[in-house]
Amino acid sequence: MPKRVLIVEDDPEVMHVLQEFFVGLEHGYNYEIETATDGMKAMPLLRRTQFDLVLLDMRMPRMDGLEVLKKMRDHKIRAPVLMVTANEDAEAAGEALSAGIFAYVPKPFDLPRLEHLVALAISGAPPADAPPDA
C-alpha cells in the first residue's frame, strides 16, 4: 500500500528536490505525494486526507509551519512531521519540538539523514532513534 506524504514548501526549487527525493527512495514503499505551497493550502488537504508523513517548511507566507503544526494538533491530525528550515533559530526549533514534530531538518538537506528520518517516521519508530547531526 502506498505511503501518503504531504510536502508543504513555498520554494519551488526545494519542492522539486523533495519530490525527486521521494521518487528515488527504495524503502519498499510507493509514495503518493501531495503538495501545498503554504499553510493555508495545506490545511484543507490535512483535514481530508490521512497522511503517513508531512514535510513542513518552517517559514512560509500566510501561515508558517508552526501555525500549521498547532492547527494540526487542534484538529487531532497525528501524522509525523519533519519540520524543514533554512533558519537556525533555536527558539523556533524548540517550539516545534515541544509541539510534537518528529524531527527538525535543516536546509541544505543531508539526504542520507533525511532518508533515515523518513524511514523512521513512516515505520512508526520513535524520533529518539534518529542519528545526531554530523
The string of pLDDT tens digits covering residues 38-62 is 999 999 999 999 999 999 999 898 8
Position 30 scores a pLDDT of 85
Does 132 map to a domain?
Answer: no
Could you tell me the three cell numbers for 46?
A: 490535512
Domain count, the chain: 1
Range of the domain at 25: 3-41+48-124
Distance CA 78, CA 75 (A): 9
Say which CATH number the domain at 74 has.
Answer: 3.40.50.2300
Distance CA 42, CA 21 (A): 20
How do residues 88-128 score in pLDDT, each as one tens digit?
Answer: 677 777 888 888 899 989 888 899 999 999 999 998 887 75
- The closest of 67, 77, 76 to 6, measured between CA atoms, is 77
pTM of the model: 0.88
- The closest of 24, 34, 46 to 3, measured between CA atoms, is 34
Does 130 map to a domain?
Answer: no
